[in-house]
A = this chain, B = another copy of it.
Amino acid sequence: MAGKIKVGVLGATGIVGQKFVKLLEKNPWFRLEIVAASEKSVGKVYGEAIRGSGENFSDEIKELEVKPLNPKAFRNEDVDIVFSALPSDVAYQIEEEFAKNGFIVLSNASSHRMDNDVPILNPEVNAEHVDMIDEQRKKRNWDGAIITNPNCTTAILTLSLKPIYDAFGLKRVVVSTMQAVSGAGYPGVASLDIIDNIIPYIKNEEEKVEKETLKIMGLPYQPANFKISSSCHRVPTIDGHVEAVFIETEKKSKPEEIIEVMRNFKGIPQKLNLPTAPNPPIIVRFEDDRPQPRIDRMAGDGMAIVVGRIRYDKVFDCVKYVVLGHNLIRGAAGCSILNAELLKSKGYI
């Protein structure tokens, strides 16, 4: 398509980078022009540089030459929108360099998420935070911008909380997660550590879930003020994070009311008809035994979340439920692509 906007992917060889590439292959608004990665991949063709073998790419994609993580390489190709799947340790500096050089950086890295002037954007939840980049540009004196998507677990959780928060307010949230191995990247979790096993710990994850959730669900620059606590666990599934959620709402609420607001929920992306926006964004299921990762993770092409077992909870005299989302799509690459679509529809791109 002639009119597509050219984009690039930073850190394109890892698991999330590959997912960006895969999703961009069919995006109607953006065209993948550049894949970039660290020194050891530069100059190779993409098909040889990628780690693991989870995605079956087209030959065209496989033959792209991997470029360095350098703004110039992108400018030469008239690309000024980049998606970042860089590891957190290098993302901080490289993403800033791109932003300084005028690029819009849509990042899955955690490095900048908690910066005061950087939005964590989950577009059905806090599309209005996008305006924070005006302030960011002023303050940082750059033409580019850094916009992050949430941590995978947080993206799924906050989308499920949004309609509840709007309708009833929130006082407390307790969440325990069962997270798929793809969340740890590649090679990530050793098979010896996870077959017939659970690892009840994911580094920094609980802190991320707790802080990011409040930032996303609050006003710009002002976190929401409910209490949230999480326990995060790795389980032997490939893709799809499951979260058991217990909530206490400000205003009393009942399971049937929660079901109602979840089912009726539409976010800004749905109202704007953005190409990647799932519709509905929240699928409520009524079978006893759903959602299940292997069966439900691709709901809404991996962009919807699936909620089940919405039921009465005695501890908070409120509601508990189970939510599932695709950690690499809704929880990572797909979310940033939807953010880019939002930026375009708002005129930032």
Q: Which residues of A contact B (CB under 8 A)?
A: 15, 52-54, 56, 172-174, 176, 178, 181-182, 186-201, 203, 210, 227-229, 231, 233, 235-238, 242, 244, 246, 287-295, 308-309, 313-316, 320, 322
Chain B residues positioned under 8 Å from A295 (CB to CB): 53-54, 56, 197
Q: Is the CB of B182 within 8 A of A186?
A: no
CB distance from A157 to the nearest CB of B (A): 14
Evaluate whether A181 and B195 lie within 8 angstroms (CB atoms) in the complex, with A54-B295, A227-B315, A233-B242 already known: yes
| CB-based nearest B residue for A185 | B192
Q: Is the CB of A196 within 8 A of B231?
A: no
CA distance A290 to B234 in the complex (A): 12
CB distance from A297 to the nearest CB of B (A): 10
| CB-based nearest B residue for A178 | B198
| CB-based nearest B residue for A55 | B295
CB distance from A260 to the nearest CB of B (A): 21
Q: Is the CB of A237 within 8 A of B200?
A: no
| CB-based nearest B residue for A287 | B53
Evaluate whether A236 and B196 lie within 8 angstroms (CB atoms) in the complex, with A187-B190, A210-B314 already known: yes
| CB-based nearest B residue for A171 | B315
